[in-house]
Chain A
Amino acid sequence: MRRAVLVIGATVVGLVGVLSFHTTPAKLTLGSLSAGTASRPATTTTPASASPPTTGPPPPTPTTAPATQGTTTASPPTTAAPPTTATPTTTTTAPSSTRSATGPSVDYNFGLISVTATVSGTKLTNVSIASLDDGGSPRSQSIDQQSIPILEQQALQAQSGNIQGVSGASYTSSGFQQSLQAALSQLGFK
């Protein structure tokens, strides 16, 4: 089974499609972003107001059972984006202006998540989880790198045997959305 994750109708990400394969090391092939009218800034700035993460009853730690269909392998982490929670980061590597930014840590219903977006030119080349704190030990993207933004689905699916999806979890990952939008804004994308 191969899974693709899309974000439809989001103000910022527009036509982004995220294609990720469980059976290969994390490889994301993405369409072009609309760069809007903003020129690429030379530096990034901290988001003006990051909504503070809400606190509630500590959520249960979801099991990290791999998907039951086919063979899945956890890919080794490919980038060393620091697992910071609220501080955006920028990395500029070599000539093709590859830049990354991390959005603020936001409540995603099972805990807190912050998202890193990497662009190269006008192309979004990577979206990954910078930090994930679900009440268990805080961890970084290496665990869920290929499987964003279906964290709630994963956590729920793992609670029962051989489940291929969960219905009714529509309030999914708005935290992921918020953090991603903030990261993209920092990179100059509306």
Chain B
Amino acid sequence: MGTIVTIDVYVDAGMPVDRLAAHVGRARSALHRADDVFSTWKADSPMSRLRRGEATVGQMPPEVAVVLDACRAARVLSDGWFDPWALPGGVDPTGYVKGWAAERALDALRMPDVAAAVVNAAGDIASFGGPAPGAPFRFAVVDPFDRTRLACVVEHTGALATSGTYERGQHLFDPRSRRATLAVASATVTGPELGMADALATALAVGGQDVLERIDALDGFEALVIGHDGARRSTSGFPWAPESVPSTVDPAA
């Protein structure tokens, strides 16, 4: 395994290399720390020990309780479609942690001499600032049917998460059918924070329309689903880039 993370920092061209390296180093440390604590691939990680019942949450680093509490909130918001406790093998917050870890890395970059930054953790993106003053970031969503192509472009600074057919692992588990099934080909969520966006995208991938409606009612989060038939449905405020806005309006109106 191994998650590829890219970190883009927008800084003055004159920033000394060692200062830049220090910024990125802190972000990198945050990611490694999260991996050390939460990786279910590492037999001795606190999360692995928790899953095996060898330790309690009280004996864990404090961020474990923080993450599990956030997962409870995500479970409520998604009406149970995101449920780390329903996964075989014990509680598995991976669907939240990837985004949470990226946010911790992003936080390490919130320095006065960093104008903007993007942390892209294997396609889940957290950002602040923009590519130029006054401009939001533009991110594309990959086409779930042809992964060499783009489905659309969004304009959004903040969190952007996508779940779908290209995802591996049992965190795309439908807690209701008790199977790994996908209601859609691709589920994308935008919002202010990537841990929650990640969890909601996971929920949306298995819950489909039910979760889409819940996100529509949720302040600050927007969503897009691409069905197995290619049909697209989105929340009313989904931040399409101008070139991607679906043309559903009657031009004669």
What residues make up the interface of A, taking CB atoms closer than 8 Å to B? Answer: 1-11, 13, 15, 17, 19, 21, 23, 29, 59-60, 62, 69-70, 109-110, 149-150, 152-153, 155-157, 159-160, 162-174, 176-177
- Point out the residue from B6, B9, B139, B186 that lies within 8 Å of A163, measured CB to CB: B139
- Point out the residue from B2, B41, B121, B149 that lies within 8 Å of A13, measured CB to CB: B2
Separation of A95 and B148 alpha carbons in the complex (Å):
45
Question: Do A8 and B150 contact each other (CB < 8 Å), given the known contacts A17-B28, A162-B138, A172-B123?
Answer: no
The answer on a CB contact under 8 Å between B1 and A29 is no
Separation of A2 and B144 alpha carbons in the complex (Å):
29
Least CB separation from A13: chain B residue: B2
The answer on a CB contact under 8 Å between A9 and B28 is no
Instruction: Tell me which residues from 105 to 135 in chain B have a Cβ below 8 Å from any Cβ of chain A.
Output: 118, 120-125, 127, 131
The answer on a CB contact under 8 Å between B123 and A3 is no
The answer on a CB contact under 8 Å between B2 and A165 is no
Least CB separation from B121: chain A residue: A8
The answer on a CB contact under 8 Å between B7 and A6 is yes
Does chain A have a CB within 8 A of B78? no
Separation of A122 and B24 alpha carbons in the complex (Å):
22
Does chain A have a CB within 8 A of B247? no
The answer on a CB contact under 8 Å between B124 and A1 is no
Chain B 32-58, CB-CB to A under 8 Å as 1, else 0, gives: 100100010110000000000000000
What residues make up the interface of B, taking CB atoms closer than 8 Å to A? Answer: 1-11, 13, 17, 20-21, 24-25, 27-28, 31-32, 35, 39, 41-42, 118, 120-125, 127, 131, 137-142, 144, 147-151, 153, 160-164, 166-168, 186, 188, 243
Separation of A29 and B21 alpha carbons in the complex (Å):
9
Separation of A168 and B101 alpha carbons in the complex (Å):
17
Separation of A10 and B243 alpha carbons in the complex (Å):
38
Question: Do A168 and B142 contact each other (CB < 8 Å), given the known contacts A110-B148, A177-B2?
Answer: yes
The answer on a CB contact under 8 Å between B138 and A9 is no
Question: Do A6 and B123 contact each other (CB < 8 Å), given the known contacts A59-B148, A155-B148, A166-B140?
Answer: no
Least CB separation from B143: chain A residue: A168
Residues of B within 8 A of A70 (CB): 13
Question: Do A168 and B8 contact each other (CB < 8 Å), given the known contacts A29-B21, A69-B131, A162-B131?
Answer: no
The answer on a CB contact under 8 Å between A5 and B4 is yes
Residues of A within 8 A of B24 (CB): 4, 17, 19
Least CB separation from B187: chain A residue: A168
The answer on a CB contact under 8 Å between B2 and A9 is yes
The answer on a CB contact under 8 Å between B138 and A163 is yes
Residues of A within 8 A of B13 (CB): 23, 70
Residues of B within 8 A of A153 (CB): 6, 120
Residues of A within 8 A of B31 (CB): 6, 8
Question: Contacts A1-B8, A8-B32, A167-B161 given; 9 further ones with Cβ under 8 A?
Answer: A1-B10, A4-B8, A69-B8, A166-B123, A168-B123, A170-B162, A170-B167, A171-B168, A172-B4
The answer on a CB contact under 8 Å between A9 and B8 is no
The answer on a CB contact under 8 Å between B137 and A165 is yes
The answer on a CB contact under 8 Å between B122 and A2 is no
Separation of A174 and B39 alpha carbons in the complex (Å):
18
The answer on a CB contact under 8 Å between A156 and B122 is no
Q: What are the nearest 7 A-B pairs in CB distance?
A: A10-B2, A168-B162, A168-B142, A170-B123, A167-B162, A170-B122, A9-B35
The answer on a CB contact under 8 Å between B131 and A164 is yes
The answer on a CB contact under 8 Å between B147 and A171 is yes
CB distance from B156 to the nearest CB of A (A): 10
Least CB separation from A70: chain B residue: B13
Question: Do A8 and B3 contact each other (CB < 8 Å), given the known contacts A160-B150, A166-B123?
Answer: yes
